[in-house]
Amino acid sequence: MNTATQTIELKKSHSGQGGLAPGYWARRNVWDWLFAVLCVVGAGVAFQRYGAAMDIYEKSILVGTVPSVIWLGWFWRPLRTLMVVVAAISLLAINLYQTPTGADLARADQVFLLKYFISSQSAILWMSMLFFMSTAFYWIGLLTRGGQTFEALGSRLAWVASGLALIGTMVRWYESHQIGTGIGHIPVSNLYEVFVLFCWMTAVFYLYYEDQYKTRSMGAFAMLIVSAAVGFLLWYTVVREAHQIQPLVPALQSWWMKLHVPANFIGYGTFAIAAMLAFAYLIKQSAGETRWYKLAPLWLLGVVLCFEPIVFRQGAADKGGSYWFVYFGVSALIVGGILTARGRIAERLPSFEVLDDVMYKAIAVGFAFFTIATVLGAFWAAEAWGGYWSWDPKETWALIVWLNYAAWLHMRLMKGLRGTVAAWWALVGLAITTFAFLGVNMFLSGLHSYGEL
């Protein structure tokens, strides 16, 4: 085929009606279409069984979810597998709760699979352990020669842990509806539930970048933030027994919650990924540096990260103080180990260009969803409290987070912000975001005080 013919064929391949290349549909295989049919059938069954309990907004969300889920499964096929497995195991768990007279939550302690694996609490505990293991294997892979096998194992464990987090969420949703009339709700209403949401969302977004850039060496840093969240989740479970399902407070009894909270946590998760890759960027940059004053900022960062648990201890009225001192010790060992082994780590990390690009894309995605969440939150506030904006501490700090990343993206796109400054700025952004998410709940009061520790 000559060059002219190739050019004609290329133009034909990009000339589809409505601007959509015919090749898009040609790339759909039988599994894609089967997945689409399963999504439509599943939505139909949900309408048939639970339509009477839904209001018009919930029905609209369900209708909008179907094409969104199909598109996600087609856009990135590993997600399709994850969704099918989660749906199948969640339905199995729901079926195991059934008795001839109806659902019985006591079976969570009687049926082997529910008790040890797929009741909501069991699945979330497995999620916690597997995320810790995933992080450990990523680090073993990063620090050892020929560590690709360990990194691959870390990646697979992250997938399994994400699946178990989703299974735990789906089953918890079902369990809440069996406790009593008016108690059932989507599990994104308290710190326990949203930390589970944060863990799997952050992990899945990282796994997408891992797949797109064909490198697993970023996982050691990205999964550290997930493991930190799991550590908080376990403490919160023990100290507050937060895994117990509670009725929603009046302000949260709104369909806006189903949209606002997940959108917020896409932002939180991707901002966290960007910050951890910024940390990796700075570690790689300092690999050959020996002058103490050049390394001082990194050691200072390590001290700040290690003392963060002490802040939690003080903010939580000394609950579980010994736990946080252990957490502090482990954090100090990890940060010290990273700084000491920075030369070996730098050799395995991807290029500066890759780290910088993933950092930018993560912040761009997070900013888009955080913007959507902020707008949705304003509508929710108008419905719940009678005004779109009240300068509540949570709202004020959400605006600070938004302005911070808006400025970061502006400097990136208009002024070519790159490298060290961008990395440090992303780390500062994580500190601001963490205070907006947790610090406000611990130290400030306001209309969002129902989320305090």
> How confident is the model over 45-79, as pLDDT tens digits?
999 988 887 888 888 989 999 999 999 999 999 99
- Give the confidence band of 7 by pLDDT, cuts at 50, 70, 90: very low
Mean residue pLDDT of the chain comes to 86
Residue 6 reports pLDDT greater than 60: no
Do 127 and 166 touch, CB atoms closer than 8 A? Answer: no
CA dihedral 378, 379, 381, 383 (to 10 degrees): 170
State residue 312's pLDDT score.
53
Q: Which of 161-165, 182-186, 191-195 has the highest mean pLDDT?
A: 161-165
The residue among 245 and 339 whose pLDDT is bigger is 245
Q: How far is CA 281 from the centre of its chain?
A: 21
Nearby residues of 315 by Cβ (< 8 Å), 6 or more positions away: 439, 442, 443, 453
State residue 27's pLDDT score.
87
pTM: 0.90
The span from the CA of 309 to the CA of 438, in Å, is: 12
Residue 293 burial (C-beta neighbours within 10 Å; 0-12, 13-18, 19+):
exposed
Residue 10 reports pLDDT greater than 80: no
- Give the confidence band of 9 by pLDDT, cuts at 50, 70, 90: very low
The span from the CA of 78 to the CA of 90, in Å, is: 18
At 131, phi and psi to the nearest 5? -65, -40
The residue among 253 and 37 whose pLDDT is bigger is 37
Residues 425-434, mean pLDDT to the nearest whole number: 92
Residues 231-248, mean pLDDT to the nearest whole number: 86
pLDDT digits (tens, 9 = 90+) for 132-153: 999 999 999 999 987 899 999 9
Residues 252-278, mean pLDDT to the nearest whole number: 92
State residue 82's pLDDT score.
97
Residues 1-5, mean pLDDT to the nearest whole number: 44
Closest CA to 271 of 235, 313, 229: 229
Do 193 and 235 touch, CB atoms closer than 8 A? Answer: no
State residue 12's pLDDT score.
44
Residue 18 reports pLDDT greater than 50: no
> How far, in Å, are 8, 157, 165, 277, 335 from residue 225 at the CA level?
49, 16, 16, 11, 12
Residues 176-196, mean pLDDT to the nearest whole number: 90
Lowest-confidence segment of 180-194, 315-329, 370-384, 392-406 by average pLDDT: 315-329
pLDDT digits (tens, 9 = 90+) for 89-125: 999 999 999 999 989 999 999 999 999 999 999 999 9
The span from the CA of 362 to the CA of 353, in Å, is: 14
- Give the confidence band of 321 by pLDDT, cuts at 50, 70, 90: low
> How far, in Å, are 155, 245, 269, 435 from residue 441 at the CA level?
33, 20, 18, 9
